[in-house]
A and B are shown apart, each in its own frame.
Chain A
């Protein structure tokens, strides 16, 4: 029996509409209502002084690449989970583009068993939509659901065959699993590596045009309507994608979108020195796109914040720009960037909305029990200091990789303590 009391924090628990200074009680890894509800008052009580801090349900990052099985030199489930904890996340959803691809129940079982022994946060696997992410035939989606996936996606790839995608969404509706989609039309995008625009023109780098994303966002809106099932557009980046999503959501279409920190922190101007830490998919866009994303966050069109944490080894990234793999790590900088940019700098949302976008919104989408401080819920809690000024130091990261463009950035706000199942798994030095 263990008991913890988090005292005098500013508790923000959107699921229960709680927003007040108060205490949070934890017994045996679960949230309990009050001191009087603690069944064993004689057990040793750990008291955490949270005065001056915000106490929130443990944050959820629904877009993470953990690289295991297959690419442990980039990240392991263990190191990725530690990075999540250091970033304030208690639940992460790992993408299926591993080796082997997570398109088979045995791979899902392996990930879950590895996570159970090695991960300090909750690791929830997403399964593939198509076998081997090849976009040609359906993965055994029902069996994957039975094995414990929380979503299906071909992330990193995108099913080009609209008929196959239609059947996948119909099938997903039957087995009640949400569909996440990386929106990229291969014909439009071709060998594009950076946003098609001024900088691609200047630098002669192959362009990845906005329409390559928008065409698939449009496709997904049509399929969500046709199949009456939810489709979530991952890492939305363009102004027209935001407009399409806004219009469709107003009509009640089951469609949503998420935003990654780099797509609001940076524009494609950052690529001018061919630094591959600014190469990600979808690419950094123009300022007008960044402005539209901020508006989409502000008016609720974009409902989820996620990192798209994508670790790569130095030797893989330190190559010619068009030969480098896409992606940057984000678990340890995402919350800091979101707080700094959305709450402090641009004042687009308040901290309550930010917490919602990292808790109840992804929890609702994925039908998770996480993201709440309800009585009886697993005691996953994040303590934030929204005003703490800190400097990003990649050499201090828990992640197995270092491919971040944010080294040296000064940010305001971060997690200071991460509690999973009642146990502190990470604390700021």
Chain B
């Protein structure tokens, strides 16, 4: 705590922090209050500054052990968590599904309890099953950080998206955010919806009717299947990766037709307001959901998202790891 205080003016001490954060786990944005979300974003401000120093490391989690437990392939999220943990001076081990004993028939619960028996303090879990992080959080003393569970939530991705919007536009309330693509199967979309609606943004989901079912309207968002009607009023467009290769063949006719109807092409990008932010959680399918030039254009903040992801994950690890200690 002392270390972070010295890096920031936004934190005024343990007592205030404890008042604003008392969760050992980060499972999703649906369960967080506006105050908790803002507190994470403020804490990330402090850590973002650490990344600009010559020595990019603070001893906040020195002596703590963090396990990156990825029961589903991921490179960027795992790397981001790993780097965030290094910068907080935690010891890090990575376990992936193929290397883990899950393949040998051990249950998730047993594997996690074994990790805890080795005194792991923080478990960062990526899992293909919705609810897996909550399942472990209810059964472990260690902090559980959800790094993406099925189509449920990906809270640190949404937090870094919120952070980036706030950083670039100075606010979130009142902005019109369009989330475009495969909403049905997207944990990024769900976490963004929960966070953006809580913070007062106006959200429109855009995509094929099969991937943006009407049920989503009950979450307090608008739905549109006509991207050209949405783009002119958007302050932020967040493009989701569209996958057709796996089980999506029944949901839309193919990437060619997707691009024709929903791709952010050069021509469509002209409909955007000049200050509209273009975001993407990556990895990008250039030429499918977004044209290459648009992805690399001046309105794109895609790489800022990656940088901010590091600060946000440091904040989350620091806050939850701090609770698990006490």
Contacts and interface: CB of A to CB of B under 8 A. Distances in A.
Contacts of A273: 134
B152 A320 contact: no
B108 interface: yes
Contact of A274 (B107, B131, B216, B218): B131
A274 B215 contact: no
Given A315-B107, A320-B135, A201 B130 contact: no
A321 B130 contact: yes
Nearest to B184: A201
B48 interface: no
Interface in A96-135: none
A205 B215 contact: no
Interface in A359-409: none
Nearest to B127: A320
Contact of B215 (A201, A319, A321): A201
Contacts of B19: none
A318 B107 CA distance: 9
A205 B130 contact: yes
B151 interface: yes
A320 B30 CA distance: 20
Interface string B117-137: 000000000010111101100
A201 B219 contact: yes
Interface string B154-191: 00000000000000000000000000000001010010
B132 to A, nearest CB: 5
A352 interface: no
Contacts of A175: none
B130 A204 contact: yes
Q: Which of A198, A204, A206, A322 has most chain B Cβ within 10 Å?
A: A204
Contacts of B187: 204
Given A197-B215, A202-B219, A322 B130 contact: yes
A203 B193 CA distance: 12
B213 interface: yes
B109 interface: yes
A323 interface: yes
Contacts of A203: 130-131, 152
B186 to A, nearest CB: 8
B153 interface: yes
Interface string B137-150: 00000000000011
B131 A320 contact: yes
A210 to B, nearest CB: 13
B109 A319 contact: yes
A322 B129 contact: yes
Contacts of B132: 320-321
A197 B127 CA distance: 23
B109 A204 contact: no
Contacts of A201: 213, 215-216, 218-219
A273 B28 CA distance: 12
Given A274-B131, A274-B135, A321-B129, A202 B30 contact: yes
A362 B130 CA distance: 39
Given A202-B30, A204-B153, A319 B219 contact: no
B150 A319 contact: no
A317 to B, nearest CB: 11
Contact of A321 (B131, B151, B153, B218): B131
B216 to A, nearest CB: 6
Interface of B: 30, 107-109, 127, 129-132, 134-135, 149-153, 185, 187, 190, 213, 215-216, 218-219
Closest 8 CB pairs of A and B: A274-B131, A204-B151, A204-B152, A320-B129, A201-B215, A204-B130, A321-B131, A320-B132
Given A202-B219, A319-B108, 19 more contacts: A201-B219, A203-B152, A204-B130, A204-B150, A204-B151, A204-B153, A204-B185, A205-B130, A274-B135, A319-B135, A320-B108, A320-B127, A320-B129, A321-B130, A321-B131, A321-B132, A321-B135, A322-B129, A322-B130
30 contacts: A198-B215, A201-B215, A201-B218, A201-B219, A202-B30, A202-B219, A203-B152, A204-B153, A204-B185, A204-B190, A205-B131, A205-B150, A205-B152, A206-B151, A274-B130, A274-B131, A274-B134, A315-B107, A318-B107, A318-B109, A319-B107, A319-B108, A319-B109, A320-B108, A320-B127, A320-B129, A320-B131, A321-B132, A321-B135, A322-B150
